[in-house]
Structure 1
Amino acid sequence: MMKEIKPIKVYILTGFLGAGKTTILNSLLSQLKNYRNIVIENEFGKVNIDAGLIAEKIDHLYELTSGCICCSLDNDLMEVLGSILRLETRPDHVFIETTGIADVGNIIGMFHIPDVKRHYSLASTICIADAENVFERLQQVPETGKQIACADVIIINKIKHLAVPQLIFLSQQLEQMNPLAYLTTSENGTVAFNTWQFPEKPLVPGITIPPVKSPHKVNTVLFESPAAFDLNMLMFVLDFHCNAYPDQLYRIKGYIRVTGSNDRLLVQSTGKYLSILPAGDWGEEVPKSTLVFIGKELKTATIQRILAPALKA
């Protein structure tokens, strides 16, 4: 009987230029020095000077300097993932440090392609936010909002010179932008994770006091309904809107009930990728559909209108 080969764990690091991605990566690699680690380093349009900072701490380093990996999914990055599988010894972890302008939704979608998913398991998408200028970046660069919205973990970096009230305000803002993410802080790029497992946030956003004014346009809409969805129609409307409005609808996550089934289904979308998979029964929980939508200037009424054709009484 052949031994089952476990998929290689993948961690994607995002964040705008200067946020501290390489420093955070160094911290994580130091904690995982007893494992086999591979880094895929992507820097857009120039020789990758960051690569020299991490080359001594890993088993292999792959550099992609010809362009942004989010724009060439079928080429450079796919070739690198294939090369890793041909190594004599499989790695334990693969870290992908993206360029600051990467549209991470497309990169995440790659790891849900069946052929890729057989060999790689996307463990976490980690966004590093520069505490001193993240709001400025959100206004200047749309990709910054997408990176925060798609993250499983948000690390607020460089908090040393931030006053406590400012840090609280920033934390509230980022949590409102992405209530699904685990939020933590770092003064100088050092982040400690005991077992390299991040706590999973509850699906429903916690109650927070909304700030008077939001210096960004990314927001969250929570949809709840006791009614069951028609599964085929729901897949159609969500897939259509994810592909038609990728610059406005960044992420969807939630559990739904559907007609003709007692199972709970997990809905996830990032970028143009959509997945609806079985997630066990409801147990003692009363079956209902709960979906969190994250995007730019989303309206509750609009989300309800989008979902209405898929709802059944």
Structure 2
Amino acid sequence: MQKKNPINVYLLTGFLGAGKTTLLNGLLQQSRDRRNIVIENEFGKVNIDASLVAAQIENIYELTSGCICCSLDNELLEVLGGILRLEEQPDQVFIETTGIADAGNIIGMFSIPDVKARFRLMSTVCVADAENVETRLEQVTEVGKQLSCADVIVLNKTKDLPVPEQLRLQALLENINPLAYITATADGLVAMADLQPQERRIPAPAARLSAGDTACAMPVEKTPHKINTVLFESPQPFDLQMLAFVLEMNFNVYTDQLYRIKGYVAVKDQPEKYLVQSTGNYLSIVPAGTWGDTPPSSTLVFIGKDLKSATIERILRPALK
């Protein structure tokens, strides 16, 4: 029997040993009254993590032939299709990726119309090991991408961490991803309520623009790990088709530098605001309601590696009208 509403999906990412499986077990314990399915991915031939997952699940699907976010796109789609063919469909699906995964592509898969109609990606959660997240950021590119793509960042293993050090790490993570909700835990346990959809933060403009001002792109604080945020804002409306063209083109050109875009824009001849989101190869520009009492303007946040405000402004300027 098919469910009328989309199936809720939670994507769990984080580097090797950060505590993803512990987090997953805790979430399953909290979801004992719901029908749950787990999709596990381990880089290699044998998945040992699946044996650690708690028993509050209907089924475990194991993807073991490669990284879920690159070579296994088709296999994951097949698994999702198989879930839809089950006689009793689940309420929730938890996807735990391998520790070296780039989550961008899998996030994009849930924007495919046929997938989006049946599955709702509720939250992308990245677990960060407080003991070595800074070192991993310097050593492994994927760690920065995982953090940048997340809706929720869980700073794990904080039991023996002095409070000033914990606050410093949380500030570092917020600089890397100002759009994420950040929470800390000593033992990998997080409340399901913290993973529910919420209005993600978009940094407030550093300076208020008047009607005569032109577009500007400003760097928000740069981290020592070359991941930085650029805030673009303009009172001018965008041409919708041109905006989609320049963003898609430059996402392909700067695929190793540009990790995420999010924000609201004003569109020429349209009374409503548009929500812009981009992660991996996925770009979405959709209506998002009226401006209300707020004057129409555009604010976009770009997260990536060594981003330049002048470059962002040059990319977007042709799409302004």
* TM superposition score normalised by structure 2: 0.92
Q: Distance in 1 between matches of 2:312 and 2:178?
A: 18
Rounded Cα–Cα distance in structure 2 between residues aligned with 1:77 and 1:193: 24
- Matched with 1:122 is 121
Partner of 2:161: 162
Q: What's the counterpart of residue 19 of structure 1? A: 18
Determine the structure 2 residue equivalent to 1:85.
Answer: 84
3-state SS of 2:158 partner: coil
- Is residue 65 of structure 2 the alignment partner of residue 61 of structure 1? no
Q: Deviations over 1:94-130 (max 9, x none)?
A: 0000001111000100000111111101000000000
In structure 1, the partner of 2:241 is: 232
User: What does residue 201 of structure 1 align with?
Assistant: 200
Label 1:196 to 1:71 Cα distance change in 2 as closer, same or farther (>3 A). closer
What is the match of residue 102 of structure 2? 103
| Secondary structure, aligned partner of 1:251 | strand
The worse-fitting range, judged by mean Cα deviation, of 44-53 and 34-43 is 44-53
Change (3 A) 1:137 1:195: closer
SS in 2 for 1:70: coil
Segments of structure 2 that go 5 or more residues without pairing to the other structure are 207-218
Match of 1:278 in 2: 287
- Aligned-partner residue type, residue 236 of structure 1: F
Q: Which amino acid aligns with 1:277?
A: V
Counterpart of 2:31, as a letter, is: L
Q: Secondary structure at 2:250's aligned position in 1?
A: helix
Deviation of 1:203 (Å): 1.5
Aligned residue number for residue 265 of structure 2: 256
Q: Which residue of 1 aligns with 2:69?
A: 70
2:294, 2:28 → 1: CA distance? Answer: 40
Return the alpha-carbon distance in structure 1 between the equivalents of residues 101 and 199 of structure 2: 25
Q: Which residue of 2 aligns with 1:294?
A: 303
Alignment of 1:163-202 (within 5 A): 163-194=162-193, 197=196, 199-202=198-201
Query: Deviation digits for residues 244-271 of structure 1, max 9, x if unmatched?
Result: 2121000000110111111111100001
Change in 2 beyond 3 A, CA 1:183/1:266:
same
Query: Given that residues 268 and 274 in structure 1 are in contact (C-alpha distance below 8 angstroms), is that contact kept between their aligned partners in structure 2?
Result: yes
Counterpart amino acid of residue 202 in structure 1: R
Q: What is the CA–CA distance in structure 1 between the aligned matches of 2:96 and 2:124, rounded to whole Å?
A: 10
Q: 2:90 is paired with a residue of what secondary structure? A: coil
Residue identity matched to 2:5: K
Could you tell me how far apart the structure 2 residues matched to 1:225 and 1:162 are?
Answer: 42
1:241–1:213 distance in 2 versus 1, CA, 3 Å: closer
CA distance in 1 between counterparts of 2:281 and 2:56 reads: 34
Task: Give 1:201 shift.
Answer: 3.1
Q: 1:199 to 1:114 in 2, by over 3 A?
A: closer
Residue 280 of structure 1 deviates from its aligned partner by: 1.1
Q: Deviations over 1:187-225 (max 9, x none)?
A: 011112348525433322598xx9x98331111111110
Supply the AA of the counterpart residue of 2:164.
Answer: P
* Partner Cα separation in structure 1 for residue 204 and residue 126 of structure 2: 19
Q: Does structure 2 retain, via aligned residues, the 8 Å contact 1:180–1:205?
A: no
Report sequence identity in percent: 65
Task: Give the Cα separation in 1 of the matches to 2:54 and 2:66.
Answer: 20
Q: Work out the CA distance in 1 between the residues paired with 2:178 and 2:288.
A: 21
1:135 and 1:179 mapped to 2: Cα distance? Answer: 17
After TM superposition, give the deviation of residue 73 of structure 1 in Å: 4.5
Corresponding residue of 2:216: none
User: C-alpha root-mean-square deviation of aligned residues, in Å?
Assistant: 2.1
